[in-house]
Amino acid sequence: MLPRLASLRHHLRQLPTPLSLSRRQSTFPLPLPLPPTIASTLSATSTGPASVPEQVTLHGWIRTCRKQKNVAFAVLNDGSSLNGVQVVLKKGLEEG
């Protein structure tokens, strides 16, 4: 049994490993930066309004939506925080 194990180890050492491949052979694209999360945006606003840009793009889902006469109030959440962000939508944007 031991000679078979030694033979198997020898064959495994001959196989190329991902670490032995050069970077030129790698075809993986560079990872894209992730969009800001609601938690990171909320923590930035607590440190001061100067640290938050005037316009921020957030990704998530609408948790609740309250329709009023001319506007709608939606709570946007992305799972990064228990708190969501309240979004004010103009009339007509709450549909769809």
Contacts of 69 (CB under 8 A, 6+ apart): 91
Q: What percent of the chain stands above pLDDT 70?
A: 60
User: What predicted TM-score, i.e. pTM, was given to this entire model?
Assistant: 0.55
Task: List Cα–Cα distances, 72 to 56, 62, 79, 93, in angstroms.
Answer: 19, 12, 22, 8
pLDDT (tens digit, 9 = 90+) per residue, 55-96?
778 889 999 999 988 899 999 999 888 888 898 988 876 665
Q: Would you list the domain boundaries of the chain?
A: 59-96
* Higher per-residue pLDDT: 24 or 71: 71
pLDDT of res. 25: 57
Mean pLDDT: which of 9-13, 20-24, 73-77, 82-86 is highest? Answer: 73-77
- CA-to-CA distance for 76 and 84, rounded, in angstroms? 5
